[in-house]
Structure 1
């Protein structure tokens, strides 16, 4: 019975996951309009459809209403982890022309002089992006729309590349692991001229940041040739996941970058190269380090009524990046007994740069003169940063008004002076006792009343 319940729960979970996947993806078909301008026309991708006919879309031209045939199951795999309540990804579609890769280290992929005739015809490239998915797919549409109740064009997903980590946020000093999956469906299965098994491919990872870009890693599984050396300790787990004789095939190109630093953030481009076909996706890697927050003077700030307490200094140290940092001053308690914005003059210091790329600054608050009602109030420095939760991180001190808790300032000074005078008197008495002797001690006789004393010189 337990096993049956478990199987039922798994089946329901799978059904929920399948139903959560989008059925139709709305796109924009982008093409050159001349004069350096682009024209955008509505398009749609029908990812899955049961026995029923596709919905009517009179607003779409048949060549831009595509029913996707996905033999490798790459599109279903890409949307398998897509959140149910998340908005649909942004989608663009454009014409694609098969061309050989320009890099010399990829020349082994295209030994023939010209593009094979099997790649002739119309090709489309579809790009999707969202916080949960980055995907690129090369589609091969059929030449004529299908004669269904809704005019629609069948298209096969030939090469699909995607990642589930399009916006990785990596703590500074930790390793970055960027997943990459791809799938390929051969256009001429079981052709006599082709060797069985997955074809060789090329994989490259590049980074672009602040207008600069360079190749981090290049690999060519299945080819013998020289490739550029990897940089910054980068490693890729590049291989086909299966070796079916005639396809389709799925592969992995996950990228590993050790101990990331602020200089390594930016846009990462992952490109999978097959002969005359390329699929590319982008990832935006951000490096984060949460700030440390310390507030001085601490733990107590003393002040007399009508006087201003010492200046509060909030040190926000070793954080990254600089943008998104906010410092707030709060007053908890006080006359109104609630959380409120602290009054006073405030300013920030300039950023200080550390050798590891992290940053520090100090926030200052000069408080106005205090009143007796502010006794026991707490001043807090609250810091907000992209690396922290919505509540941020804070440090606080308590304000003690002299005269309301223990001795006042004047009482303290009086007690100090009294103790000082008493100590001096005791020392004077001790000095006199050592220097004064009775007369009987000098004459060697027992004293009688009255007793005379003689001060003997020392």
Structure 2
């Protein structure tokens, strides 16, 4: 019995070892689970002069990615036949920046990451807070290679990534040298909240550029206008002077983990726009963009409040004011719910244009004429102002009472009884007053006669 158990255990261990070997071989070929990225290789057309309108040429490209140096036979990877061999790259990514799940769609998915590869030319930084990185007049021999920049947008706005890769001249096996990424490509915030715009970077420890200093820059852009938010010179450990207030980065986290995230202490409408995180190394720079949208739903109020009684033949004007919202897109409307519980739309009313406050928020109003004959308001009910905004839909209601219609309600009956009682009281007082006066005159005449 013991011998049999040992035999079974030996068979189990053999199968287990074979499974481990198969697993290792499989993931070794597939790049430790990293995706195969389909990209566009974009560059200026040969022979064309540079400039903003220079014609561009784009070709299909493919990147096989591994976290360790490529040592497998590339012929076993079987790239598609419609991609030129000159545009197939075997990338070594030691930090696994390309291996995020946001860049690896489910098998058969039609949604894929957006990827673009461009030739990159190392050059000295043009901003003063990074000029110290390249104060030498000579370029290092290390720069004599083929350089590429890769920009990738992940699925469902989960990741935006920009990498700089270096390959020995005429080689198709580049290695990631500098990587900058953001896990929050799109951020939405309410007014007054603290906002974190994520940005992190990694530098290849084996590169001569590692440890030679870095600089970080956050710049704001919106509708053609831009400003410097914050800039840090890591080589000299100092911040550049800017006019921006309430913005900061965690310098300790910057050195410990490459966390260059921007912190806005209190979100304001003026903060809406695109923020560009740029990381400078000697002769290299790479950047990612983060979009921030400040979304604040409106506050609603209806006036006059309460609404006056509506008598058939008369018109009551109601106005709804929406204030303190951003962005400015807003849809206003009116609804009415009768005493029978039935609801219906009363339309938009007369809507005014937008007005902008000093804090950047907007206000808008709508005016509605309540005519019981035209709007079929019956015996009254609830008038509701509805504001549809991307931040949140808001509603405000007021009660409308209509009197003097057929089949009076309990409220109408009570009101009429109250009016009748008041009139009866007035008549009774007048009767007593005149009766007393007549009695006094008669007594006075009797006394004179005697």
> By the TM > 0.5 criterion, same fold?
yes
1:46 match: 64
The residue that corresponds to 1:24 in the other structure is 36
Structure 2 CA distance for aligned equivalents of residues 386 and 327 of structure 1? 13
Deviations 1:209-268 (A, max 9, x none): 23222212111224256733462232112457677xxxxxx5111111222322222221
Mark the CA change 1:395 to 1:126 in structure 2 (over 3 Å): closer, same or farther.
same
How far off is 1:64 after superposition? Answer: 2.2
Alignment partner, residue 423 of structure 1: 426
TM-score after normalising by structure 2: 0.75
Measure the CA separation in 1 of the matches of 2:411 and 2:233. Answer: 80
Give the superposition deviation at 1:382.
1.8
Correspondence for 1:37 among 55, 78, 85? 55
Look up the match of 1:268: 275
Deviations 1:312-369, CA, capped at 9 Å, x for gaps: 32211111111x311233345699x7654335x7221122222222111101233552
Distance of aligned partners of 1:65 and 1:298 in 2 relative to their CA distance in 1, 3 Å threshold: farther
Compute the displacement of 1:287 (Å). Answer: 1.6
Give the match for residue 115 of structure 2.
91
Aligned equivalent of 2:173: 154
Q: How does 1:163-202 map to 2 (within 5 A)?
A: 163-186=182-205, 188=207, 198-202=211-215
Q: Find the partner of 1:381 among 378, 382, 385.
A: 385
* Deviation for aligned residue 1:123: 0.8
Distance 1:361 1:96, change over 3 A: same
Q: Distance in 2 between matches of 1:372 and 1:340?
A: 10
Quick check: 1:221–1:238 contact (8 Å CA) kept in 2? no
TM-score by length of 1: 0.74
Extract unaligned runs of 5+ from structure 2.
Answer: 1-32
Mean Cα deviation higher: 215-224 or 370-379 = 370-379
Distance 2:103 2:298 in 1: 32
Cα distance in 2 between the residues matched to 1:48 and 1:332: 64
Deviation readout 1:48-106 (Å, 9 max, x if unpaired): 59989434211212232223211123333x54699978943322211100001012232
Q: Distance in 2 between matches of 1:240 and 1:408?
A: 71
- Root-mean-square deviation (CA, aligned residues, Å) is 3.9
How many positions carry a matched residue from both structures?
Answer: 399
Q: Offset of 1:275 from its aligned partner? A: 0.5
More helix by share: 2
1:125 is aligned, of 146, 149, 152, to 149
The answer to whether the 8 Å contact 1:289/1:319 transfers is yes
For 1:329, the equivalent position in structure 2 comes to 334
Match of 1:71 in 2: 94
Change beyond 3 A, Cα 1:173–1:71: same
What corresponds to 1:258 in structure 2?
265
**Relative to 1, partners in 2 of residues 1:118 and 1:213: Cα closer, same or farther, differing over 3 Å?**
same
Asked whether the 8 Å contact 1:176–1:256 carries over to 2, the reply is: yes
Q: Structure 1 pair 398/188, CA: closer, same or farther in 2 (3 Å)?
A: closer
Tell me which residue corresponds to 1:394: 395
